[in-house]
């Protein structure tokens, strides 16, 4: 039986798709008619295309993006030029960045930035000191100690831990996910959130509109607000051709009282806990942080939340600030550095961290990722590491969720394998985990995929771990995953000239995937 909310979602999706197609149709008719009846306009568009191509070459930016836009402009002179102008008008993005700057400024005095911890961490892990400095001093993400980290190798275990911690909440619960979907997972979590809100806790829920566009009813926000839960939908989708719709909130953050925080690749949907089957067994991972680093994760949640506030109040920050008790001898928990990435600024934080880690590797680089669509920086780093004797292993899904994206990922296999990179595909189902482990002692886990969307277009978050005991669990899980995966060899890849040519063409348009 089809639920009423499913019919509502279907109608909404179809209606918006029709509206967008109508816009495309009107746009195409107007352009074609204008060119057909006016030599002057045709000449203008030709010179406009040449000017845009030169502009793309001249301006700063990723070479891969430049090549993609230049190809579109030159192959489709009129439409390519107009779409470039349309999708590079970043007025809304600039406004958002201005709001984020105000939020960053407000958060500065609440970071709990202990310089002595940074000094200790860089002394203990000098080879990664530059990365710690970049994240802390340049980007504002301090290094923390005295934070216990628990690793969860499956969504089912992660979910149970979330339920256990939610019922312990005393002051507030901050919830931010890319996808929220009707089902067992959301029903049980929502029930706890409603109960906690009824007890007077500050409960806030935020989800991305595109991520949750076809998975929950349109009136979910209204229903939550009626239950005392403050709910916000990030970047509501409108059937208007605009570049800002590309910038999605791909973060996964759950903060409880600012003392406990969760993150990883897992969304709030039943396939993530294998309650339902999509693309075989769903392999995903996450972590729980307990201690000062959880507070920094809370601030990451507040970044986007507070861009939707009319006023930024220090009094609110003071109320949210947790107190951490230090008793006895400090625990050897290693060092934890939560960080986030934004598409509105000029810093590609996620990529910078990945590149730095790979270049510093001396023994091994282990990567889990659902997608492998690399720019020249990451591809060069991986190839150079493998050619320098570093054992580089990458696990991707055998069963794909997006055919073109999977084929584009596979287009990188040959060059990487020839350089000595070991590539595996998870045979049991879909690999959705996002992590990198270097030399068995430093790791990053979070929401960042090895693709253009995560690295340049989405809001993302992750956690860098240095000498954290949980890294041992991550390595054991990676080794087990390898046993459940098929190693890909060059001879396994298609030798067809047409297939190889098609994959190379896909590579040219990879930045748009």
- Final residue before a domain boundary, out of 73, 91, 109: 91
What are the phi and psi torsion angles at 314 (to 5°)? -65, -30
In a 13 Å sphere around the CA of 281, the CA atoms on its Cβ side amount to: 12
Domain annotation covers residue 28:
yes
Q: Residues 99, 86: one domain?
A: no
Domain assignment present for 24: yes
Same domain, 302 and 367: no
The partner residues of 435 in beta bridges, in order of sequence, read: 368, 445
> Of 107, 196, 250, 458, which one is the catalytic site residue?
250
Within its chain, how far is the Cα of 261 from the centroid? 17
Reduce the DSSP state of residue 505 to 3 states and report it. helix
> Domain span at residue 85?
1-91
CA angle at 388 for the pair 384 and 393, rounded to the nearest 5° = 70
User: Where is the domain boundary, 91, 126, 158?
Assistant: 91
In the annotation, is 345 catalytic? no
Number of structural domains found in the chain: 3
User: Which one from 259, 393, 434, 458 is the annotated catalytic residue?
Assistant: 434
Among 270, 341, 439, 477, the active-site one is 439
Decide: helix, strand or coil at residue 88: coil
| Residue 128 falls in the annotated catalytic set | no
In a domain, 140, yes or no: no
- Give whole-number Cα distances, 35 to 24, 40, 85, 107, 329, in Å: 17, 8, 18, 52, 77
* Contacts for 382 with CB less than 8 Å, ≥ 6 apart: 358, 365, 374, 392, 394, 416, 419, 421
* 127 within domain boundaries: no
257 counts as catalytic: yes
Please indicate, yes or no, whether residues 307 and 392 belong to a single structural domain of this protein.
no
Is 439 designated active site?
yes
For residue 154, is it within any domain? yes
Do 300 and 387 have their domain in common? no
Q: Is residue 333 part of a domain?
A: no
Both structure tokens of 171: 């002051």
Question: Are 74 and 161 in the same domain?
Answer: no
Which entry of 249, 257, 270, 451 is annotated as an active-site residue? 257
Integer CA distances (angstroms), 70 to 74, 86, 372, in order: 6, 15, 23
Of 153, 122, 195, nearest to 442 by C-alpha is: 122
Please tell me whether residues 264 and 373 are part of one structural domain: no
Q: Kindly name the residue from 221, 432, 458, 503 that is annotated as catalytic.
A: 432
User: SS3 for 229?
Assistant: coil
Q: Is 398 a catalytic residue?
A: no
Per-residue pLDDT at 215 = 83
* Residue 337 located in a structural domain: no
Residue 2: per-residue pLDDT: 47
Q: Does residue 211 lie within any of the structural domains?
A: yes
Considering the candidates 99, 107, 252, 356, report the single residue annotated as catalytic.
252
pLDDT at 237: 74
Count of C-beta atoms within a 10 Å radius of residue 219 = 11
Residues 172 and 286 in one domain: yes
Q: Are residues 48 and 101 in the same domain?
A: no
Residues 171 and 275 in one domain: yes
174 and 298, same domain (yes or no):
yes
Dmax of the chain from CA atoms? Answer: 83
Looking at the structure, do residues 162 and 209 belong to the same domain, yes or no?
yes
**For 171, what's the count of Cα atoms within 13 Å in the CB-facing half-sphere?**
13
String of DSSP letters for 230-242: EEEEES---SS--
CATH of the domain at 431: 3.30.870.10
Say yes or no: 99 and 74 in one domain: no
Record the tokens describing residue 346, joined without a space.
């000029």
pLDDT score recorded for residue 33: 58
One digit per residue, pLDDT tens: the chain, 513 residues? 445 545 555 555 555 556 556 655 655 555 555 555 566 666 666 677 777 777 666 666 666 666 666 766 666 666 666 666 666 655 567 788 889 999 999 999 999 888 999 999 999 999 999 999 999 999 999 999 999 999 999 999 999 999 999 999 999 999 999 999 999 999 999 999 999 999 999 999 999 988 887 888 888 999 999 999 999 999 887 655 555 567 889 999 999 999 999 999 999 999 999 999 988 999 999 999 999 999 999 999 999 999 998 788 888 898 999 988 765 556 788 999 999 999 888 789 999 999 999 999 999 999 999 999 998 899 999 999 999 999 999 999 999 888 888 888 888 999 999 999 999 999 999 999 999 999 999 999 999 999 988 998 899 999 999 999 999 999 999 999 999 999 999 888 876 666 666 666 666 666 666
Is 112 an active-site residue? no
Q: What is the DSSP letter of 391?
A: E
Q: Which of 294, 326, 358 is the last residue of a domain?
A: 326
User: Is-above-0.75 flag for pTM?
Assistant: yes
């Amino acid at each position: 039986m089809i639920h009423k909310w499913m019919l509502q979602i279907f109608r909404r999706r179809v209606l918006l798709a029709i509206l967008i197609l109508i816009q495309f149709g009107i746009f195409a008719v107007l352009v074609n008619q204008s060119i057909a009846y006016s030599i002057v306009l045709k000449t203008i568009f030709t010179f406009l295309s040449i000017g845009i191509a030169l502009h793309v070459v001249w301006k700063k930016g990723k070479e891969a993006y430049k090549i993609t836009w230049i190809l579109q402009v030159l192959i489709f002179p009129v439409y390519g030029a107009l779409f470039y102008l349309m999708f590079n008008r970043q007025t809304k993005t600039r406004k958002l960045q201005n709001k984020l700057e105000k939020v960053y400024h407000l958060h500065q005095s609440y970071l709990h930035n202990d310089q002595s911890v940074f000094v200790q961490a860089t002394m203990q892990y000098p080879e990664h000191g530059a990365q710690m400095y970049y994240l802390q001093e340049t980007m504002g993400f301090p290094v923390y100690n005295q934070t216990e980290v628990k690793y969860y190798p499956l969504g089912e275990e992660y979910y149970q831990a979330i339920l256990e911690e939610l019922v312990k909440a005393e002051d507030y619960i901050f919830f931010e996910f890319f996808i929220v979907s009707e089902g067992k997972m959301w029903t049980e979590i929502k029930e706890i959130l409603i109960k906690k809100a009824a007890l007077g806790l500050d409960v806030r829920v935020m989800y991305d509109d595109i991520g949750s566009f076809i998975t929950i009813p349109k009136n979910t926000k209204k229903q939550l607000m009626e239950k005392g839960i403050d709910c916000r939908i990030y970047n509501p989708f409108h059937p208007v051709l605009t570049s800002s719709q590309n910038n999605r909130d791909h973060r996964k953050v759950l903060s409880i009282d600012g003392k406990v925080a969760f993150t990883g690749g897992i969304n709030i949907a039943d396939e993530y806990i294998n309650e339902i089957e999509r693309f075989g067994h769903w392999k995903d991972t996450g972590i729980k942080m307990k201690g000062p680093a959880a507070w920094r994760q809370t601030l990451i949640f507040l970044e986007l939340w507070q861009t939707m506030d009319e006023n930024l109040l220090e009094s609110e920050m003071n109320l949210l600030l947790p107190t951490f008790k230090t008793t006895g001898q400090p625990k050897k928990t290693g060092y934890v550095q939560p960080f986030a990435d934004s598409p509105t600024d000029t810093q590609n934080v996620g990529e910078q961290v990945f590149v730095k880690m790979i270049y510093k590797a001396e023994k091994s680089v282990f990567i889990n990722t659902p997608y492998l669509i690399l720019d020249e920086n990451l591809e060069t780093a991986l190839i150079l590491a493998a050619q320098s004797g570093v054992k580089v292993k990458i696990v991707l899904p055998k069963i794909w969720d997006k055919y073109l994206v999977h084929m584009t990922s596979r287009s990188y296999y040959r060059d990487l394998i020839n350089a000595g990179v070991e590539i595996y595909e998870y045979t049991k189902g879909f690999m959705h985990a996002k992590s990198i482990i270097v030399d068995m002692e430093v790791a990053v886990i979070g929401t960042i995929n090895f693709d253009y969307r995560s690295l340049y277009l989405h809001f993302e978050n992750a956690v860098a771990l240095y000498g954290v005991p949980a890294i041992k669990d991550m390595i054991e899980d990676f080794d087990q995953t390898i046993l459940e995966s098929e190693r890909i060899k060059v001879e396994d890849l298609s030798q067809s000239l047409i297939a190889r040519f098609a994959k190379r063409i896909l590579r040219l348009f990879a930045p748009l995937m």
